């Protein structure tokens, strides 16, 4: 039974289109994240939600909008896709953090977005 699952696994689309990636976790965690991994493997945090509330919002273009309908789901919608949005997007959830430190992150298998 997959702990963090995201769909779709692959997404190929044209510039200017709008697309969504869905994520679900069955670990009972309160905190979920979206990370972007570029072609050089660099992992950068985009958003974090704790119990449906946005707590981290990095300098991400407004075209990216996360939505958390409940604490087990965190979706990512991207408007007006650009070539530079091509990347692997990872959803993750985490165990409760201690005072001042992050808990363990559990990542999904990633969604590879290719913008043509």
- The residue with tokens 């087990």 is 72
Residues between 9 and 68 that touch another protein (CB under 8 A): 40-45, 48, 56
Contacts of 6 (CB under 8 A, 6+ apart): 21, 22, 23, 24, 89, 90, 91, 108, 109, 110, 111
Near another protein by CB under 8 A: residue from 60, 65, 107, 114: 107
Q: Compute the CA torsion angle 43, 62, 9, 74 (nearest 10 deg).
A: 90
Confirm or reject binding of residue 83 to another protein (CB under 8 A): no
Q: How far is the CB of 13 from another protein (least distance, A)?
A: 21
Complex with another protein: residue 20 or 110, whichever CB lies closer: 110
Q: How far is the CB of 33 from another protein (least distance, A)?
A: 9
Q: How far is the CB of 65 from another protein (least distance, A)?
A: 20
Q: How far is the CB of 91 from another protein (least distance, A)?
A: 8
Q: By C-alpha distance, which of 30, 11, 28, 6 is closest to 85? A: 11
**Spatial separation of the C-alpha atoms in residues 89 and 50, rounded to whole Å:** 19
Near another protein by CB under 8 A: residue from 18, 53, 82, 104: 104
- The residue with tokens 């689309």 is 13
Binding residues vs another protein (CB under 8 A): 4, 40-45, 48, 56, 90, 92, 97, 100-105, 107-110
């Amino acid at each position: 039974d997959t702990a963090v699952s995201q769909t779709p696994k692959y997404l190929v689309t044209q510039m200017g289109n709008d697309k969504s990636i869905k994520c679900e976790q069955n670990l009972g965690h309160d905190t979920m994240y979206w990370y972007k991994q570029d072609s050089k493997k660099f992992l950068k945090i985009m958003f974090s939600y704790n119990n449906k509330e946005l707590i981290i919002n990095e300098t991400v273009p407004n075209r990216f909008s996360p939505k958390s309908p409940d604490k087990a789901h965190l979706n990512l919608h991207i408007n007006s896709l650009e070539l530079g949005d091509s990347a692997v997007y990872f959803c993750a959830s985490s165990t409760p953090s201690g005072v001042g430190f992050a808990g363990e992150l559990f990542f999904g298998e990633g969604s590879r977005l290719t913008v043509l």
